[in-house]
Structure 1
Amino acid sequence: MTSRSRLLLAASAAAAAVTLSACGAGGVSGGGGNTNFVTGNNGIDTAAKGHRDAAPDLSGKTIDGKTLDVADYKGKVVVVNIWGSWCGPCRAEGKYFAKVSKEYQDKGVQFVGINTRDSSTTPAVAFEKDRGITYPSLYDPTGKLMLRFKKGTLNPQLVPTTLILDRDGKIAARALQALSEESLLKMIKPVLAEK
C-alpha cells in the first residue's frame, strides 16, 4: 500500500467516525476523572478558569477563499460553531447564531464557523446567505481541524458542536447539540463576564 493510499484510508476512517457520530440530537459526554470540566448543564460542558485547555491551531481558508486564524481574535471571547449545510440541527440553529453574532459583535465577542463535510463551498456559502450569517467560516471538508483537539478535553465530537473560547484562547464551554438563542447566550455570558 502506498503512502497516499494509507493517507486516504486514514482520512476515510476519520470521516466515517465523524459521520457515525454526526448530526446527532446532542447529549452529554465527557466528565469524570481528572478532565477538569463539569458535565451536563443541559448538554453544555464547562471548564473553570485556570483549568482550561488551549484551543489548537484553527487556521486555514474560509468558505469564501480568505485566510483566517482564530488566534488573531485573542483578547475576545470567541464562539466556534462546527456545522455543515447538510446537517438539519445546524440549519435549525443558524438563525440564532446569526442574530446573537450581530448583537454581540461590538461587545468583545467574535463568532467563527467551521464548515465540515461539504464537498464544495457552494452549499456552505448558500447556507450562510440563507440564514444571514455574516461572520467567517473556515472550510474543513475532511474534519482535520476537529481532529486537532486533544481527546479528553472539551473537544468537538459531532456536528453541530459549539465551543466558547475565553479571551486567552482556552476552551471554556462546549455544547454537543443544536442550540437555541437562550442556550447560546447561557454559554457566552459567563465567559464574557470574566475579568
Structure 2
Amino acid sequence: MSARTAPTAPVSRRRTAFVAAAVAGVLALSACGWGGSGGDASSGAGFGRSADRIATVPPADRKAAPELSGTTTRGTRLDVADYRGKVVVLNVWSSTCGPCIAETPGLVKVARSSRDKGVRFVGINTRDAETSQATAFEEQHKVPYPSLSDPAGRLLLRFPKGSLNPQTIPSTLVLDRHGRLAARTMGAVDEDTLRKMIAPLVKEK
C-alpha cells in the first residue's frame, strides 16, 4: 500500500495568508491609530509637512494613485478612476478601530458639505472579515459615501513605494483632480484638518 501524501493548503488560502502578512508589515506602525512621525517611511521624501500632521506634495512631484477598484461593502462595483476631475478623499478604516469611530462624524459632515464643490469621498474598509461588520458601521454612523471592501489589504499594497501611502488605520489621503496623491494624514483626522487638506485642491484646476 502506497503512503499517502499530506494534503497541501489550497493556493488561494496560501496567497491570502501571504497578502495579509504583507499588509501587516505595511501597517506595522500601529494596528489602529497614529504611529508617530518617527515611523513615517515617507519622511524626507520631498513631502511638505504641516504642524497638524498633513503631508503634502507639490503638483509637479505628485504620483498617480494606483488602480483602486473592486466591490463595495454594499456589493456594487466602484472604480475611483471614474471620479477623475473631482477631488477625492480616501479614508482607510475598520469597524473595530476606536480612532476610526472617533473620526467618522467629521468625515460624514465634510463629505456632505463639500460635495457641491466637486469633492467625493471613498472609504477603503480593511480587516473586517465580513462585510456585515462594515455595513452595520456605515448604517450606525450614517455614512453617505461608498467604501471598497478590502479585508486582506490588497488595495493598500498597490500604493507606490515612496509615495503618500496609507501606513496606519485610519489614514486619510486626498487625490487631486488628475487622480494624483496630493495630501495625507495618518491617525484619526478631525474636521478642521480635513478641510485644510481639501481646500487648496478644490481651488486647483
Which deviates more from structure 2 when the two are superposed, residues 16-25 or residues 47-56? 16-25
Structure 1 pair 3–40 and aligned structure 2 pair: CA distance change class (3 A): farther
Structure 1 pair 117–9 and aligned structure 2 pair: CA distance change class (3 A): closer
Query: Out of 28, 33, 52, which is 1:24 matched to?
Result: 33
Q: Which residue of 1 aligns with 2:98?
A: 88
Decide whether the 8 Å contact of 2:108 with 2:143 is kept in 1: yes
Q: Name the TM-score, length of structure 2 as normaliser.
A: 0.88
Q: Name the TM-score, length of structure 1 as normaliser.
A: 0.92
- Work out the CA distance in 1 between the residues paired with 2:140 and 2:63: 34
**1:6-155 superposed matches below 5 A:** 6-18=14-26, 20=28, 21-28=30-37, 29=40, 30-32=42-44, 35-155=45-165
Which deviates more from structure 2 when the two are superposed, residues 99-108 or residues 60-69? 99-108
Deviation of 1:9 after TM superposition, in Å, equals 3.9
- Work out the CA distance in 2 between the residues paired with 1:10 and 1:48: 35
Decide whether the 8 Å contact of 1:79 with 1:112 is kept in 2: yes
- Work out the CA distance in 2 between the residues paired with 1:54 and 1:176: 19
Deviation sequence 1:65-88 (CA, Å, 0-9, x none): 000000000000000000000100
Structure 1 pair 26–187 and aligned structure 2 pair: CA distance change class (3 A): farther
- Work out the CA distance in 1 between the residues paired with 2:94 and 2:26: 12
What runs of 5+ residues in structure 1 fail to find an aligned partner?
Answer: none
Decide whether the 8 Å contact of 1:36 with 1:48 is kept in 2: no
What runs of 5+ residues in structure 2 fail to find an aligned partner?
Answer: 1-7
Decide whether the 8 Å contact of 1:78 with 1:112 is kept in 2: yes
Q: How many residues align?
A: 193
RMSD: 1.7
Stretches of 4+ aligned residues off by more than 4 angstroms = none
